Structure 1
Amino acid sequence: MSHHLSGPNLRPPEDDARLDLTDLFVFPSTVRGHTVLIMNVNPFAPVQGEEFHPDAVYRVNVDTDGDHRADLAYSFVFSEPDSAGQTVTVHRATGEDAQRHEAAGEVILSDASVAFGPEPNIVEYGRYRLSAGLRSDPFFADLEGIGNDFQWTGNDFGIDKNVFGIVLEVPDSELGEGPVGVWARVSVVRDGALVSVDRGAHPSLTAYFNEEDAKEAYNAGEPADDRENYLEAWSAVLAHTGGYSREEAGKALGTVLPDVLRYDRRRPAAYPNGRTLTDDVTSARLAMVSGGRITGDGIGPHTDLLPDFPFLGHPHPAN
């Protein structure tokens, strides 16, 4: 999996697919001077959830000073669905507000319609563009082959799957001049309190590295604590799966610990410098965990991607 089914025992967090973060993408827009942030959730939409969770905060965090703590955050809060559908409000937070999990700061878009049909709804406000709703899942991988001792089948898990996509285009000026770090988080209100139930940036980490009893704590954690909390355990995984020495494991994990996707606009966007919709992240992770013995699964990018905003393909018919 990329980040699909990131709760314990290959289940969605809280057993609710609407709260399951699947992928994060960061790349330059087709509009000069803008960056695209995509956060996908709900890996089997719409069968396991027909709308975004109205008690959740879906959030993209941005670190602009390299301390692995949010300096800028975009939070997406969805209405209770009714006969007219569902709407989303977008908050932009900076400073201390950006480090809180609650939706805070300036409201930059309010009550925008969510699209659950074949066509996206694109909303523009100033220098922002937003689209939220049902889209084709861009993730590609031979998961059957991975689960069968790397005996490849040629079957792409994501070829007919849908997700709920949140696509936000922001001006580069908001991200500052230098490199940034980006990660996503899903929190939900439980017993009157907001609880973080999923988070991540780099693909296919929790599936390979986290024990089942560690996944909930990981999803609730902060990237700034990742290296201290997980370097030793994850180094042991690499020693087992790829024959890494302690020093080699530490070097390899330097790319993914902390779990923040680094993006430098001065360099071409290609994972792990940001992530585009066609980057072969499955092969990258297989090579990492195997110590280079496995170089890919033979599955290529999807061909239904759109050339312009919101970039994610039209949804497949529900199975």
Structure 2
Amino acid sequence: MSHHLSGPNLRSPRGDARLDMTDLFAFTVPGDRTVLILNVNPAAPTGGEAFHPDAVYRINVDTDGDHQADVAFSFVFTDPQNGRQTVTVHRADGEQARSHEAGGQRVLADAPVSFGAEPEVTVSGGYRLFAGMRSDPFFADLDGILADFQWTGVDWGADKNVFGIVLEMPSTELSPDPVIGLWGRVSLRQNGRLTSVDRGAHLSLTAYFNQDDAAKAAYNEGEPAQDWDTYLEPWSAVLAHTGGYDAETARETLRTVLPDILRYDRSRLALYPNGRTPADDITSARLKMISGGRTPTDHIGPHTDLLDEFPYLGTPHPDPAP
């Protein structure tokens, strides 16, 4: 799966779908603008009717290739009241961007969250923001994957919704250099302590590689800068088992996804693993990796309800399946 159900036992982190990061996208649009999308809450609104008010939803940006955040956008939501919720967006730079707290300047404040079919869009200072329910762009024969790659032809995500956070800005807001790296994170504040409960960039990793529940929890709390040293050996062993990789081939293959940062050269077409658009087939890319090329695809194509304009994600389905 993409990054859905990334907690223990193939469930959401802390058993709460509102904290479950499902996808991360990064691409450019005409006008030299960069779009960043973080989706959460699979099968929304079944697992949660609003964003978690005690969570910090975060998109981290590495602008110098050192595997640490140089710019961080944090999204903090109010406690929903009478079916309404608002979000404030914080931008942190430099050392402040490396804290999981929502620090830095407020670039958008008290923007409305959309729970209906029509997207409410907030524009301020070159930024454009949408937050709310949209059609889930995730496409995969999930039942076939769980049945040891016996394909059913059914797209699990075809009738599903997610909560999307879509932020568009002038590309120079991130870096004059077109090459950036990105990863998402969801942190939860409990008893005065903020804990990272989910993170990722190259999706469909933790379900395949971190099969032990303790390993999943440690991964979700971790930092990309430590990924290579921490996961090269155990993930190489997974590839040897699932795809017959030798040590050298596994090492070279894992360089694409470790550290778990999505590299994006914005001077080139966004096509995974160079950035990612909602139409990119990450499920097939991961199946090919895991199987050593023996299972190159699940034969499911991208959704046709994606929009060519902001907020790019499709109109939510009226009757989401549980």
TM-score normalised by length of structure 2: 0.98
User: Could you list the per-position Cα deviations for residues 179-202 of structure 1 after superposition, in whole angstroms to 9, with x for gaps in the alignment?
Assistant: 111000000101111110000000
- How many residues were matched structurally? 318
Q: What residue is the counterpart of 2:196 in the other structure?
A: 196
Q: What residue is the counterpart of 2:179 in the other structure?
A: 179
Counterpart CA distance in 1 for 2:60 and 2:101 is: 12
User: Could you list the per-position Cα deviations for residues 159-179 of structure 1 after superposition, in whole angstroms to 9, with x for gaps in the alignment?
Assistant: 000000000002111221131
Counterpart CA distance in 1 for 2:172 and 2:44 is: 34
The code of the aligned residue for 2:199 comes to: R
* 2:84 corresponds to 1:85: yes
- Within a 5 Å distance, the mapping from 1:159-178 to structure 2 comes to 159-176=158-175, 177-178=177-178
1:32 deviates by 1.1
* 2:230 corresponds to 1:232: no
* 2:135 corresponds to 1:106: no
Q: What residue is the counterpart of 1:275 in the other structure?
A: 276
The code of the aligned residue for 1:312 comes to: L
Counterpart CA distance in 2 for 1:267 and 1:114 is: 33
Counterpart CA distance in 2 for 1:84 and 1:18 is: 16
1:185 aligned counterpart, secondary structure: strand
1:182 aligned counterpart, secondary structure: strand
Counterpart CA distance in 1 for 2:95 and 2:173 is: 16
Counterpart CA distance in 2 for 1:186 and 1:148 is: 30
5+ residue gaps, structure 1, are none
* Same amino acid, percent of matched pairs: 67
- Within a 5 Å distance, the mapping from 1:228-267 to structure 2 comes to 228-267=229-268
Q: What residue is the counterpart of 2:16 in the other structure?
A: 16
Counterpart CA distance in 2 for 1:219 and 1:226 is: 11
1:85 aligned counterpart, secondary structure: coil
Counterpart CA distance in 2 for 1:73 and 1:174 is: 12
Counterpart CA distance in 1 for 2:316 and 2:196 is: 28
The code of the aligned residue for 2:55 comes to: A
The code of the aligned residue for 1:238 comes to: L
Counterpart CA distance in 1 for 2:269 and 2:83 is: 42
1:84 deviates by 5.9
User: Could you list the per-position Cα deviations for residues 64-98 of structure 1 after superposition, in whole angstroms to 9, with x for gaps in the alignment?
Assistant: 01011000000000001112600000000001110
Counterpart CA distance in 1 for 2:31 and 2:117 is: 27
Q: What residue is the counterpart of 2:94 in the other structure?
A: 95
Q: What residue is the counterpart of 1:127 in the other structure?
A: 126
Counterpart CA distance in 2 for 1:215 and 1:288 is: 20
2:92 aligned counterpart, secondary structure: strand
Q: What residue is the counterpart of 1:300 in the other structure?
A: 301
1:10 deviates by 0.6
Q: What residue is the counterpart of 1:46 in the other structure?
A: 45
Q: What residue is the counterpart of 1:222 in the other structure?
A: 223
- Within a 5 Å distance, the mapping from 1:21-32 to structure 2 comes to 21-29=21-29, 31-32=30-31
1:305 aligned counterpart, secondary structure: coil
1:300 deviates by 0.2
TM-score normalised by length of structure 1: 0.98
Counterpart CA distance in 1 for 2:287 and 2:82 is: 45
5+ residue gaps, structure 2, are none
Counterpart CA distance in 1 for 2:170 and 2:262 is: 19
Q: What residue is the counterpart of 2:290 in the other structure?
A: 289
CA gap of 1:66–1:145, structure 2 versus 1, over 3 A, is same
User: Could you list the per-position Cα deviations for residues 221-257 of structure 1 after superposition, in whole angstroms to 9, with x for gaps in the alignment?
Assistant: 0000000110000000000000000000000000000
1:33 deviates by 1.1
Counterpart CA distance in 1 for 2:66 and 2:125 is: 30
The code of the aligned residue for 2:139 comes to: F
User: Could you list the per-position Cα deviations for residues 27-62 of structure 1 after superposition, in whole angstroms to 9, with x for gaps in the alignment?
Assistant: 012x41110000000001101100000000000000
